[in-house]
A and B are shown apart, each in its own frame.
Chain A
Amino acid sequence: MGLGFEDDVTQPTGFGPPRRLRSALLVPFAIAACSTDEPLDQKVDDPIAALSATPSRGVAPFEVVFDASQSRDPAFPTASLVGRFDFDGDGNYDADAVDLKGTHRYETAGTYVAKVLITSTEGRTAFATTSIEVIANTAPTAALSYSPGDGNAPLGVNFDASGSNDPDQDAATLEVRFDFEGDGTFDTEYAAAKLGSHTFNTAGEYFPTVEVRDRAGAIGTFRAQAPLVIRFGANLAADTNRDGKIDDADELDEDSWTEAHGALFLANLDDDDNNGRQDARDTAVNGNEDVRDLVPVIIRRHGGVVDGRDTATLSLEPAGAKNNVRVFLQSGGRLASLISPEGNAQVTIAPNDLLAGDLQLYVEGLNTRTAVWDGRANLRLAITVDGQLQEDVVSLRVAPVIFTDNLQEARALFVMRISDRRLGENLAFADVLRSDLPNGVELIEADQYVFGGDRWIQDNMQAGYQLIVGPGGTVLEMPTFAQLQRPTGQGGLEAYVPEAFLAPDRGYFYPGRSRDTSLNYGGNLEVMAPFENSEVSYPLGRLVIGGGNLGTLGGVAFEDHMGEVQRNWLNAQGVQGPAVEISSEWLAVGHIDETFQIVPYPQAATGAKPYKVVYASPNLARQLLLEVQSAGGGNRAVFAGRQTQTTVDAILEDPALMALNDAAQARLDTNKAILKAELDLKDEDFVEVPVMFEGFDFDGLDLVAALNPGIQNLVTTNNTLFVPDPEGPIGADGKDVWRKSADATLSGLGVEPIFVDVFDSYHLNLGEAHCGTNVLAVPYSTPWWTAAVGPRNR
């Protein structure tokens, strides 16, 4: 506190009735002057009031914090003081304050003398005052600029309100909102950002408006005086932002296709009218259901064209798209082919049609992505208006065919149930599937007579899907199988996909004629579950195929690969490749499912991979046999009762067989090293199952196939596995040592292994359980269109 008369915020004063302080009093608890109109005639033991105000000056409206807590009563130092405030100096007390503090918002300009009355014990009082100056608020001045000032629809315009200002506050703190079209409806909320943008799709004259608001709520407005002129322009619209609708938000970057934007369409490979023919293979739209498989594109009305003077064309680009896309035009309630492989990639649009209103197009994919077409298709609308060219482009891309791994939820299992002995019945296997398939998985049995007892339903097809965003943002899925290259003309499963699988909302694609090799079959194509690390990302998994040039296990020079046409097609889908190739040319059938499968690992710890790679191990099989032998069981039967029954000794003491399995183990180790390097796997991600191999001669080469039913060649349906019974020797505990080992390994993962008899029906024919089945699963939840695939530093 100070002495003397002070015109500041701290004006402690006297006591009792207000008195004017004329001069400082030399007292032990001297008190400074207060309000000048208060006479001071204080006594040395009166209470002393003190009042501060923060701030004491400002632009209306603003809030002031008053603090009288420095007030005291020298005579009764411990007395509790109570305060009453008169904020506006009108003589009426506005608030009581036991804590001697108060706040007040001053709305109106003017000078106010705020006062506090302090009351101590026995009613002894004192007061203090302070002056508050409230300055009147000035509304902000709005300013708006935009560029370009005119143009053809669709036109993107940038707006800038940063020229707005206010004398009472920093312009950066002002808030603005935009009414881009000047139609009275503000398009944005108040925000501090002074920049905005808007796309004008409709021709007309617009008066953009901006409102600026200051802290006091005062508003300044700017409305364009001269119109922003949008002329009619070429305007194509598609769902390029993939939200399930076509609107102004799609205009941004519509002319290029990236992971962030670009329209999606399906290869229309199903048969919605159920006439046995794929919908893409004719020139018509096959019913209302088929329309769902097409994607809409709109040519916006152009009110500026003149018939006879102006011209308009619609083109499909690039050249590679012509044979792979059909565009329909809706006219008179019908959909007529407008752009097609049979016709030209560029067609004329009549000006009168553009004048009449929006034109509705539908795009149909005729093929999947291939090695020569990456699935991209642009539509270009070019309108010449009075000699001036206007253009607009929308970019689309066909969905890839994506294949699912064993971890995806199974929806259906395909198998051929063969009851006819003449065809080699397989009821020991097929009946177990009937009884033990998990709930919710549909069992689809191929007809044994129609398809000639050809049980290798893994090999003629690979289960996949296409996915795009449908109307309203829903996901539109078309299960799409790849029909794989197998020898034709034998009356087997080659007709299965086109005759039995093709249906409404179920499609397929045949990549084309490849060199004939068993390495083309489905058993030689597997999908590794999605993974990513610091270097690569495969959010939709990665394909693995078999082939190589390492030769036979004995060392005979030999090379075989999946046919190039088929392999290139798989890689062309672009989201699961390029496929990893591991050596399989040493196998009689040449399929990687003869060596490994991935299975779910429900008991994986948090953060661990949710799967294991079940890997064939001749070493493990041999070790288990050695244990039986060393326990005196060398003459125990292996494959007891079967055509190829043998003994433990006979296997272990066959030098050629041992050499072959030793070499098989080494080759499997080579493959494992590749899998680890390419698929981010570690040794602990593998579990081994006992499988040995034996020689089979084909084409003069010593190739190999499983000696015992290949345990890893199993069927995965959710957490239930159908596992080939290895039929090994019985150990000291009375159990099949191979089966026991496999059971412990698989059960330990938390899945349910069900061992099945495939010996006569599949194993003796060079296949096992996986070879004789196929699974249709639920698609990945990751949308392919946003998936970044491959090396991260692309």
Chain B
Amino acid sequence: MNQTKVILTALLLLGSTPAWAAPASSLDRLIARAHDLRGPQFLQLGEELEALGPEAKADLRRKVNDLRFTADGWRRDLDVVMLDVLVHRPTEVGRLDGLSGLEPRVYLSNRRPEPSVGTELKAMKLDPAVLFLAHYQTAELYRFAERGQYPAALSDEVQANLRKSELRALRHGLLIALGASGHPAAARTLAEVALDRRQDEATRGLAAAHLGQTREVAVALPALQKVLEEPKASTRIVTSALAGLGHLRTEESRQLLVAYTRARHTQEVRQSAIAGLGTLGSAWVAAAQPTTDGVALRARTADVLVDLLLSPEGAAVEVHLLEALTRTGEPQSLARLVAARDGATDEGVRARAQRASARLELALARQR
């Protein structure tokens, strides 16, 4: 008992009230049930909450305003916001009905006739709560195109495949939009998907790549590291994680990327790590977010790229190294390359240094 009091007190001091600490309200019980429900059962909760009456709905509103999305409580907090959307803003979900990227007669007339909604969803700047709800309840919320909306010439089998691709495109688009939303729970959601082995590799890969774009280092870095260390992770997933790392402009991610450039890794993985370094050291990104640390980070990134290019390991990945180096736009790299070109005794090194210096010179001249 004393131990219980200690724990209760500690939790109270931390501002967290466990469900069992006080008699749970109907709302609390409903929220707790929401965590594991999907599909119609989840959607049913909206009606149940309505049935609880206005006080419960008001209480829900208060909870929404008090959400913290901490490392421990973020998933439960998401349940709250999703219930809130169901009850208070159901029409907002309806905006997903009008996605042109999922409309067959629209996307089939595109130059690449496949569904895609990431860009469209980002531009809509939907409330992330709606995005979360749609993400977790995708299959239930998405209204498949009516039969009449598909061109008459399409067979049933083709239409069925298109529906599958539309559903998948919506899920991917929601992840992209979440990643761009800046919501505190977005990175965690993406990390959850990236680490979920039940997901297909395209979905996991996309989640990993966009997890990096959230720039939530505290969440993204450990998650991406876990993905990279996962035994038997597919090339798609690994290289997506490396692409994501490139957006985390930290020394830790730089070092992690450098480790994956080594020759013991496959060609695809090395290329991806190098491309990630190019993103991490990108002069254009630095210009958008100039920081002193960023300048130093870019310089260190450029240095390691030059080192790699001049090493025997550099020959196999030269194209990607050239691209990454030009992206850093470091004049010091040019000086190193010129010196290497003029002083190299190995013809391969000399040639690589020559090509790289010419390329970098052109890029630097273009920016002047």
Identify B119's interface contact among A456, A459, A695, CB under 8 A: A695
Partner of B113, one of A423, A487, A697: A487
Q: How far is it, in angstroms, between the C-alpha of A619 and the C-alpha of B215 when the chains are bound?
A: 24
Residue among B109, B169, B271 making CB contact with A550, cutoff 8 Å: B271
- Binary A-proximity of B351-368 (CB < 8 A = 1, otherwise 0): 000000001001100110
In the complex, whether B6 has a CB less than 8 A from a CB of chain A is no
Of B168, B169, B271, which is within 8 A of A557 by CB? B271
Tell whether B324 is near chain A: CB-to-CB under 8 Å.
yes
User: Do A655 and B273 form a contact, CB below 8 Å, given A550-B320, A619-B366?
Assistant: no
Q: Could you say which of A464-472, A535-543, A717-725, A764-772 contacts chain B?
A: A764-772
- Report if A24 contacts B (CB, 8 A): no
In this complex, what residue of B is CB-closest to A422?
B105
CA distance A147 to B112 in the complex (A): 70
Contact flags B178-206 to A (C-beta < 8 A → 1, else 0): 00100000000000000000001111011
Q: Is A193 an interface residue (CB 8 A)?
A: no
Per-position 1/0 for A750-766, Cβ under 8 A of B: 00000000000000011
Find out whether the CB atom of B284 lies under 8 angstroms from the CB atom of A700: no
Q: Given the known A-B contacts A552-B243, A659-B282, A683-B362, are A696 and B119 also in contact in the complex, defined by CB atoms under 8 Å?
A: yes
Give the shortest distance, in Å, between B318 (CB) and chain A (any CB). 10
Within 8 A of B (CB), among A526-563: 550-557
Least CB separation from B169: chain A residue:
A697
- A688-726, CB < 8 A from B: 694-702
How many angstroms from the CA of A273 to the CA of B86 in the assembled complex? 67
For the complex, is A195 an interface residue (Cβ under 8 Å from B)? no
B351 to chain A, nearest CB (A): 13
CB contact under 8 A between A453 and B109, given known A659-B282, A700-B206: yes
| CB-based contact A557/B288 at 8 Å | no
The complex places the Cα of A698 from the Cα of B243 at a distance, in Å, of 16
A554 (CB) vs chain B CBs: closest residue: B243
Contacts of A695 in B (CB 8 A): 118-119
Q: Quick check: B110 and A658 within 8 Å, CB to CB? A: no
Q: How far is the CA of A628 from the CA of B265 in the complex (A)?
A: 45
A553 vs B282: C-alpha distance in the bound complex, in angstroms?
Answer: 12
User: Could you say which interface size class chain B belongs to?
Assistant: 35 or more
Complex CA gap A654/B285 in Å reads: 8
Interface 9-residue window, one of A151-159, A285-293, A662-670: A662-670
A557-B272 CB under 8 A given contacts A489-B155, A698-B112, A766-B112? yes
A669 in contact with B243 (CB, 8 Å): no
Contact indicator A556/B240 (Cβ below 8 Å):
yes
B239 near A557 with CB under 8 A, answer yes
Please tell me if the beta carbons of A662 and B112 are within 8 angstroms of each other in the complex: no
The answer to whether B275 touches A456, judged by C-beta atoms less than 8 angstroms apart, is: no
Minimum Cβ distance to chain B for residue A584 (Å): 12
Question: What mask results when residues 570 to 599 of chain A are scored 1 for a CB within 8 Å of chain B, else 0?
Answer: 000000000000000000111100000000
Report the minimal beta-carbon distance from A346 to chain B, rounded to whole angstroms: 45
Question: Which residues of A have CB within 8 Å of B173?
Answer: 697
Chain B neighbourhood of A661, CB < 8 A: 284
Partner of A424, one of B109, B151, B240: B109
Kindly list chain B residues whose C-beta atoms are within 8 Å of the C-beta of A490: 108, 113, 151, 153-154
A698 and B246 contacting across the interface, CB-CB below 8 Å: no
| Distance between B363 CB and nearest chain A CB, rounded to angstroms | 7
Tell me how far the C-beta of B315 lies from the nearest C-beta in chain A, rounded to whole angstroms: 16
**A556 close to B209 (CB less than 8 A):** yes
CB neighbours (8 Å) of B363 from chain A are 665-666, 669
A700–B274 contact, CB under 8 A?
no
State the CA gap A185–B326 with chains docked (Å).
78
Given the known A-B contacts A658-B284, A658-B285, A670-B322, are A663 and B278 also in contact in the complex, defined by CB atoms under 8 Å?
yes
- Counting chain B CB atoms within 10 Å of each CB, the highest count among A491, A622, A652, A765 belongs to A765
B301 in the interface (beta carbon within 8 A): no
Contact with A along B84-125 (1 / 0, CB 8 A): 000000000000000000000000111111101011000100
Which chain A positions have C-beta within 8 A of B168? 700
CB distance from A23 to the nearest CB of B (A): 97
- Neighbouring B residues of A556 by C-beta, 8 Å: 205, 209, 236, 239-240, 243, 272
Nearest CB in chain B to that of A424: its residue: B109
Inter-subunit contact B272/A555 (CB<8 Å): yes
Q: Are A666 and B109 in contact (CB under 8 A)?
A: no
A766 vs B168: C-alpha distance when bound (angstroms): 20
A653 lies within 8 A of chain B by Cβ: yes
A155 to chain B, nearest CB (A): 60
Asked if B51 CB lies within 8 Å of chain A CBs, one says no
Contact string, B253-291, partner A, CB cutoff 8 A, digits 1/0? Answer: 000000000000000110111111011001111011100
**Distance to closest chain A CB from B327 (angstroms):** 5
Q: Is B71 an interface residue (CB 8 A)?
A: no
Q: How far is the CA of A650 from the CA of B221 in the complex (A)?
A: 27
Complex-state Cα separation, A430 to B3, whole angstroms: 80
Q: Which of B110, B235, B240, B362 contacts A766 (CB 8 A)?
A: B110
Residue ID in chain A nearest B150 by CB atoms:
A490
Question: Does the CB pair B246–A555 fall under 8 Å?
Answer: yes
Residues from chain A with Cβ under 8 Å of B209 in the complex: 554, 556, 702
Q: Mark B196-225, 1 if CB is under 8 A from A, else 0.
A: 000011110110010001010000000000
Residue from A523, A555, A591 in contact with B243 in the complex, judged by beta carbons closer than 8 Å: A555
Cβ-neighbour of B285 out of A588, A644, A659 (below 8 A): A659
Contact partners of B326 in chain A: CB under 8 A:
665-666, 669
Complex: A656 Cα to B154 Cα, angstroms: 38
Q: Nearest chain B CB to A562's CB is how many angstroms away?
A: 15
Would you list which residues of chain A between 668 and 693 have a CB under 8 Å from chain B?
Answer: 669-670, 673, 683
Contact B327 A666 (CB under 8 A): yes
Q: Chain B contacts of A655 at CB under 8 A?
A: 215, 247, 285, 288-289
Our pick among A521, A551, A554 for the contact of B279 (Cβ within 8 Å) is: A554
Q: Report the separation of the CA atoms of residues A656 and B320 in the bound assembly, to the nearest whole angstrom.
A: 19
Chain B residues within an 8 Å CB radius of A491: 151-153
- The CA-CA distance from A459 to B112 in the complex, in Å, is 11
Q: A659-B285, A670-B322 are in contact. Are A700 and B172 (CB under 8 A)?
A: yes
Taking CB atoms, residues of chain B closer than 8 Å to A590 are 112
A492 CB contacts on chain B under 8 angstroms: 109
Give A673 to B213 CA distance when docked, in angstroms: 30
Would B275 and A555 count as touching, CB distance under 8 A? yes
B122-152 CB mask vs A (1 if < 8 Å, else 0) is 0100000000000000000000000000011
Contact A489 B153 (CB under 8 A): yes
Instruction: Give every chain B residue within 8 A of A119 (Cβ-Cβ).
Output: none
Given contacts A424-B109, A551-B272, A556-B239, contact A698 B116 (CB under 8 A): yes
The answer to whether B118 touches A696 (Cβ under 8 A) is: yes
Residue of A nearest to B355 (CB): A673
Question: Contact at B288–A653, with CB atoms within 8 Å?
Answer: yes
Q: Mark A467-502, 1 if CB is under 8 A from B, else 0.
A: 000000000000000000001011110000000000
A395 at the interface (CB under 8 A from B): no
Q: Does A670 contact B323, Cβ atoms closer than 8 Å?
A: yes
Query: How far apart sit A659 and B367, CA to CA, in the bound complex (Å)?
Result: 16
Q: How many angstroms between the C-alpha atoms of A656 and B173 in the bound complex?
A: 16
- Point out the residues of chain B lying under 8 angstroms from A512, CB to CB: none
With most chain B CB atoms within 10 A of its CB, the pick from A552, A623, A683 is A552
Report the Cα distance A557→B270, complex, angstroms. Answer: 10
- A73 contacts B by Cβ under 8 Å: no
A99 to B169, CA, bound (A): 108
Known: A489-B155, A698-B116, A701-B205. 5 other contacts (CB 8 A): A555-B275, A556-B239, A556-B272, A619-B367, A666-B278
12 contacts between A and B (CB under 8 A): A452-B151, A554-B209, A554-B275, A557-B235, A666-B278, A666-B363, A695-B119, A697-B118, A697-B206, A702-B243, A766-B110, A767-B111
10 A-B pairs with the lowest CB-CB distances in the bound complex, closest first: A555-B275, A700-B202, A554-B243, A666-B323, A557-B268, A767-B111, A555-B272, A662-B284, A697-B118, A658-B284
* A residues in contact (CB < 8 Å) with B: 423-424, 452-456, 459, 487, 489-492, 518, 521, 523, 550-557, 588-591, 619, 622-623, 644, 652-656, 658-659, 661-663, 665-667, 669-670, 673, 683, 694-702, 765-767, 771
